[in-house]
A and B are shown apart, each in its own frame.
Chain A
Amino acid sequence: MTQTVPPRGQSFEHGLDQSDKTVAAFKTKKRGLLGTIQHGLHGNPTMVPVIVLLLSVAVFGLVAGGKFFSAFNLTLIMQQVSIIGMLAAAQSLIILTAGIDLSVAAIMVLMSVIAGNLAVYMGVPAPIALLISFAGGTGAGLLNGFLVTKVKLPPFITTLGTWSIFYALNLWLSGAQSIRSQDIDKFAPLLKFFGNTITVGNARLTYGSVLMVVVFLVLWYLLNKTAWGRHVYAVGDDKDAAELAGIRTDRTLLSVYGLAGLVCAIAAWASIGRVGSISPQAFYEANLHSITAVVIGGISLFGGRGSILGALFGALIVGVFQSGLRLANVDVLWQVFAIGWLIIIAVAIDQWIRKVSA
């Protein structure tokens, strides 16, 4: 190498002559097949549940045969998961902010009891009864949000408390008695609107299952295409950083809780169509089922990561498992067992994918 004569005048890079001039870059290790998959999944958080869903449909299709694979059964699964699915949508919103909502099902049941009592027993026109229940659901969500943001209680504690409160109110208002299907038909048929079905061949889609998909698409749009949605992710990922970046974090959180409450109230309307009657004792375990769907759907319990559509697939995976195992004549207790393993495996996969960014 010959020593070059430095040019005249100013030359700021002259000092670098003897050193490495490559541009700064991240080290790229060879990933291998597994690593490539891991990376791909990190970039597309809904891929895991979609793959699991397709696989489980294929497996149960083989095991349980034509009964499982019929259009009738596949649409039946949609019907059966529609309510849990909507609760999972509400739950996803909260979990994206690194919270958890144990009260979703209690809000839903309370709002169905309120709408039912007003419309069936008190002669309030059904549309107004429903509007009141929507307002009530939003209010219940905002109460959770207020306790979390202003009183600074952890979401777990807040919603554990409000779960009890809403459940007790529900039993008090209803006298622990169901409102009969026939009475709803007579006085407020609108309450059962989402029980109607669209029949195409053997497929029977209830309005309720269509509503579930619409709820997910609207929330997906809000979360992914609006500034508000970006704020929700930012708050969930790191609240302090979001605050420093100028996001009004408390206001964002409050809006998330309010919206989740509203979604629960909409689910309440759909649940009346699904169940037929209004039962204060129904959906007692649905809080946990909604969390199950979210977790299986790959939304991180630590907040800020995952697509809300994952929860939809999570709910469908649970539905497919239950239907498939039942048709294969597996006892109910083993269905519960299988769902338990699904949850654990889902979170383990989530943790593995996260290592990419570690």
Chain B
Amino acid sequence: MKKTAILGATALGLMATGAWAETTACLITKTDTNPFFVKMKEGATAKAKEMGITLNTYAGKLDGDVESQVAAVESCIAAGAKGILITPSDSRALAPAVTKARDAGALVIALDTPFEPADTADATFATDNFKAGELIGQWAKAKMGDKAADAKIGFLDLNPSQVSVDYLRDQGFMKGFGIDIKDPKKIGDEDDPRIVGHDVTNGNEQGGRTAMENLLQKDPGINVVYTINEPAAAGAYEALKSVGMQDQAIIVSVDGGCPGVQNVKEGIIGATSMQFPLKMASMGIEAIAAFAKDGTKPQNSEGLDFYNTGVTLITDQPVDGVDSISSEEGLKQCWG
């Protein structure tokens, strides 16, 4: 009896020292179901394995689930994690939990979604969403040529709460297209007559279809459709097709998911801005490894309050002055 207890204790002790010798990192995503985060998890897991880092992954139940993410951060502190990669489901509400983790000596990196203010975390690795919008705006403008001056544009946004990714992409598109955006953090305060209207999609096909139908009701002459993401774009296309107007309008989008890039290839989406979740995650793991080794912290991109993981325009109809790659190449890099 006594012997087994001692043996057990020794075994536990050995296991513990084994675990402590390694660097532990955490990845906390918004959900476990969105292909974007699934890809992010894949990227982090592969990189962690390669670098010999123990990775614990957590996710909220649905977008906006702050509670689960706070609990996950606490678990990471308890596990003595050297670094935490997190896509905050609320860019403000998680600040206290994250501050606690940093006080406990962990490096905290926001992935995809910046905190408000951004310096709540040690660093942010994200897509430049404004730039992503700007690229498709520039493309659409160049594609239309002279007709851009009296375009009729419909905006299919995310939801009524005007979250950062929503207004950044929307306003970026406007800037790229040459619309006076007024307050860059506000959708809907513009007075350019080319804007037919805005509607919300919740980022899925069903919402995209209904929103497109609504905007066509306002003005059946819409010939440019901005969409927050590719599922919304697919829904918008269905709505246009159902009234035989699929050739009249150019649809542009953001994301770079494989079904979306496939839609670029088939001419359903004119152009889309691709983001790189895999890169965000693997760079995050590398940063944690460097921090664990000698305490170096990652730097932001010049002129930005985050590290830009890049964005690439995917289109099969390239225009002058806007760099892009073809859908064929895009399919090799797409996620999901």
B242 at the interface (CB under 8 A from A): yes
B238 touches A276 (CB 8 A): yes
Contact with A along B7-36 (1 / 0, CB 8 A): 000000000000000000000000001110
CB distance from B246 to the nearest CB of A (A): 11
B160 touches A178 (CB 8 A): no
Query: A241 within 8 Å of B by Cβ?
Result: no
When the two chains form the complex, which single residue of A76, A79, A275, A332 contacts B205, counting CB atoms closer than 8 Å?
A275
- Residues on A with beta carbons closer than 8 Å to the beta carbon of B200: 332
Task: Specify which of A80, A276, A284, A332 lies most central, judged by the most chain B CB atoms within 10 Å of its CB.
Answer: A276
| B214 pairs with A279, CB closer than 8 A | no
Min distance, Cβ A299 to any Cβ of chain B, angstroms: 25
* Complex: A175 Cα to B34 Cα, angstroms: 9
Question: Of residues B197, B207, B241, B262, which shows the largest number of chain A Cβ atoms within 10 Å of its Cβ?
Answer: B207
* Residues of A with C-beta under 8 A to B263: 180, 182
Return chain A residues, CB-CB under 8 Å to B206.
271, 274-275, 279, 282-283
B234 touches A176 (CB 8 A): no
A336 to B160 alpha-carbon distance, docked (Å): 10
Across chains A and B, the number of contacting residue pairs, with CB separation under 8 Å, is 88
Contacts of B284 in A (CB 8 A): none
Contact of B234 with A76 in the complex, beta carbons under 8 Å? no
Closest to B215 in A: A326
Chain A binding surface, main DSSP class: helix
How big is the B interface, by class? 35 or more
**Residues on B with beta carbons closer than 8 Å to the beta carbon of A79:** 213
Nearest residue (CB) in B for A170 is B33
Residues of A within 8 A of B160 (CB): 331-333, 336
Q: Give the chain A neighbours of B242 by CB distance below 8 A.
A: 195, 197, 204
A110 CB to closest chain B CB (Å) equals 14
> How far apart sit A282 and B280, CA to CA, in the bound complex (Å)?
27
Could you tell me the distance between the alpha carbons of A74 and B8 in the complex, rounded to whole angstroms? 75
The residue on B at minimum CB distance from A64 is B217
Q: Does A329 lie at the interface of the complex (its beta carbon under 8 Å from any beta carbon of B)?
A: yes
Contact with A along B233-252 (1 / 0, CB 8 A): 01101100111000000000
The answer to whether A180 touches B262 (Cβ under 8 A) is yes
Within the complex, the shortest CB–CB distance from A159 to chain B, in Å, comes to: 18
| Contact residues in B for A181 (Cβ distance below 8 Å) | 234, 237-238
A327 within 8 A of B: yes
What 0/1 pattern do residues 65 to 100 of A give for CB contact below 8 A with B?
001000011001001100000000000000000000
A177 within 8 A of B: yes
A270 to chain B, nearest CB (A): 12
Distance between Cα atoms of A167 and B192 in the complex (Å): 42
In the complex the two chains form, is B34's CB within 8 Å of A282's CB?
no
Q: Which residue of chain A has the shortest Cβ distance to B214 in the bound complex?
A: A326
Flag B265-276 by CB within 8 Å of A: 1 or 0 each: 010100000000
B54 near A: Cβ within 8 Å?
Answer: no
Distance in angstroms from B166 CB to nearest chain A CB is 12
For B230, the closest partner residue in chain A by CB is A178
Task: Please name all residues of chain B whose beta carbon is closer than 8 Å to the beta carbon of A274 when the two chains form the complex.
Answer: 206, 209
A-B CB proximity, top 10 nearest: A276-B238, A282-B206, A176-B33, A333-B160, A279-B205, A332-B160, A275-B206, A171-B33, A277-B205, A281-B204
Q: A182-B262, A204-B243 are in contact. List 10 more A-B contacts (CB 8 A).
A: A177-B35, A180-B262, A274-B206, A274-B209, A275-B206, A276-B205, A276-B234, A276-B241, A277-B238, A329-B197
Identify 13 residue pairs between A and B in the complex whose beta-carbon atoms are under 8 Å apart, listed by A's number: A72-B217, A80-B213, A171-B33, A176-B34, A177-B35, A180-B263, A181-B237, A182-B266, A275-B205, A275-B235, A276-B237, A276-B238, A282-B205
